[in-house]
Amino acid sequence: MHHFSYIDGRLHAESVPLDRIAAEVGTPCYVYSTATLTRHYRAFADAFAGLGASICYAMKANGNRAVLRLLTGMGSGVDVVSGGEMALALAAGAPAGRIVFSGVGKTEDEIAAALQAGVHQLNVESEPELDAIDTVARRMGVKAPVAIRVNPDVDAATHAKITTGKAENKFGIEWTSARQVFRRAMTLEGIAVKGAAIHIGSQILDLGPFEAAFLKVRDLVAMLRADGVTVERLDLGGGLGVPYHQGDESPPPPAAYAEVVRRTLGDLGCALTIEPGRAIAGNAGVLVSRVIYRKDGITRTFAVVDAAMNDLMRPALYDAWHDIWPVVEPPAHAERPLVDVVGPVCETTDTFARDRALPPVAPGDLIAFMTAGAYGAVMANQYNGRPLVPEVLVDGDRFHVVRRRPRLEDLAALEDLPPWLAD
């Protein structure tokens, strides 16, 4: 459920017409809905309230400071995966005690910064990383609170490029060595073992893989406790999917997901954490773009739009589908000829949709790529000399540019000519 809908024939974000934002801010631009973000956060908070679980929003999905401020203001913690994300989360006002630091390649500097800040927990991804955390913590005279991420080797049945919980993936400690690594961790002076963590993948549309993974975690907890290992906390990661194909995909609601957690892990006496990203931010955002040209080729028709793969990488990277809605509502029985929607970047993969049945769009028309609130702006880059697109947050009938469009001179702002080329 989201708050982008047609009112009087124009697509609105809550009460604000998208054409008004496009006129004031320019295109392309990302537009986020406060009501949708709030609604999704509450759905998780309500579903997990009975389980006493903490929600640590995975800010990699959308790390805009306004989004973070909104969510942390409602009580969310934050899952971060780099020193940069941690700094952004702290700057947005997230209390360090509600930050979980995940990620497979934490550097010594990042570990020290996390311990200095006093984060809730570091999720350890490998034995060498465990040793690095131990070393840094001992040097600082503290004990690092850690959860050890295990790889449960389940197939999340999602896109191969976003699955993480299979043995062949780089994430977590292999299931078969987990027990021995926990035992060793208990002996390290700089480490306080708090529990276990998993994350099996993203855009998961079926509860089966979650259930399989949670049951494996349940067995692991029993084994570890028998070994005398402390397991006070379980971090279950994120991964719940969202509907990218309107009417075609129906991901389980947070309440059903919470029910699986309750059934499989609810009686272990562990403090639970979940790290949803996409399910909170995904359909809380759209990318608004303007059609520049319509190009009638011999075999295909192209709508060339002003957004490109650098602004929204998901179609180019994962062949991802995003629904495309014209900003002016088409008549109910409008013809829908097939069109390829492409961006201006000089790559064939800069294609948002192939053979998409769309009401005819003409140069100057505005369109919205739906469900672009997660893994959209955060993954953007400046390829082809295209400045990052601005982000706008709507709240009811007001809106604010929460990340401005860089000026063209900002494109090379960090570059410096060597003196021998400076003339």
Please list the active-site residues: 346
57 is an annotated ligand-binding site residue: no
347 is an annotated ligand-binding site residue: yes
Q: Toward ligand LLP, which CB reaches closer, 193 or 279?
A: 279
SS (H, E, C) the chain: CCCEEEECCEEEECCEEHHHHHHHHCCCEEEEEHHHHHHHHHHHHHHHHCCCCEEEEECCCCCCHHHHHHHHHCCCEEEECCHHHHHHHHHCCCCHHHEEECCCCCCHHHHHHHHHHCCCEEEECCHHHHHHHHHHHHHHCCCEEEEEEEECCCCCCCCHHHECCCCCCCCCEEHHHHHHHHHHHHCCCCEEEEEEECCCECCECCHHHHHHHHHHHHHHHHHHHHCCCCCCEEECCCCECCCCCCCCCCCCCHHHHHHHHHHHHCCCCCEEEECCCHHHHHHHEEEEEEEEEEEECCCCEEEEECCCCCCCCHHHHHCCCCCEEECECCCCCCCCCEEEEECCCCCCCCEEEEEEECCCCCCCCEEEECCCCCCCHHHCCCHHHCCCCCEEEEECCEEEEEECCCCHHHHHCCCCCCHHHCC
Residues that bind ligand LLP (rule: CB under 6 A) add up to a total of 22
Binding of ligand LLP at residue 277 (CB under 6 A)?
yes
Stretch that binds ligand LLP, among 40-48, 199-207, 217-225, 297-305 (CB under 6 A): 199-207
Minimum distance of ligand LLP from residue 289's CB (angstroms): 18
Report the site for ligand LLP in 252-271 (rule: CB under 6 A): none
Binding of ligand LLP at residue 314 (CB under 6 A)?
yes
Measured CA to CA, the distance from residue 224 to residue 230 in angstroms comes to: 8
Stretch that binds ligand LLP, among 29-37, 90-98, 177-185, 195-203 (CB under 6 A): 195-203
Stretch that binds ligand LLP, among 40-48, 57-65, 363-371, 388-396 (CB under 6 A): 57-65
Binding of ligand LLP at residue 29 (CB under 6 A)?
no
Measured CA to CA, the distance from residue 282 to residue 376 in angstroms comes to: 9
Which of 279, 308, 309, 367 is in the footprint of ligand LLP by CB under 6 A? Answer: 279
Binding of ligand LLP at residue 239 (CB under 6 A)?
yes
Q: Toward ligand LLP, which CB reaches closer, 322 or 386?
A: 322
Binding of ligand LLP at residue 311 (CB under 6 A)?
no
The 10 Å Cβ neighbour count of residue 409 is: 7
Binding of ligand LLP at residue 98 (CB under 6 A)?
no
Minimum distance of ligand LLP from residue 376's CB (angstroms): 8
276 is an annotated ligand-binding site residue: yes
Minimum distance of ligand LLP from residue 175's CB (angstroms): 17
Report the site for ligand LLP in 138-157 (rule: CB under 6 A): none
Which of 83, 237, 285, 359 is in the footprint of ligand LLP by CB under 6 A? Answer: 237
The 10 Å Cβ neighbour count of residue 110 is: 22
Which of 22, 25, 78, 162 is in the footprint of ligand LLP by CB under 6 A? Answer: 162
| Alpha-carbon dihedral 355, 337, 345, 321, rounded to 10 degrees | -50
Which residue's CB comes closest to ligand LLP?
238
Minimum distance of ligand LLP from residue 314's CB (angstroms): 5
Binding of ligand LLP at residue 102 (CB under 6 A)?
yes
| Alpha-carbon dihedral 341, 345, 350, 351, rounded to 10 degrees | 10
Q: Toward ligand LLP, which CB reaches closer, 313 or 361?
A: 313
Minimum distance of ligand LLP from residue 163's CB (angstroms): 10
Q: In the beta sheet, which residues pair with residue 53? A: none
Binding of ligand LLP at residue 243 (CB under 6 A)?
no
Quick note: the x/- pattern for ligand LLP over 353-392, rule CB under 6 A, is ----------------------x-----------------
Minimum distance of ligand LLP from residue 237's CB (angstroms): 4
Write out the residues near ligand LLP by the rule CB under 6 A.
58, 60-61, 79, 102, 162, 164, 199, 202-203, 237-240, 275-279, 314, 318, 375
Per the annotation, where are the binding residues for pyridoxal 5'-phosphate? Answer: 239, 275-278, 375
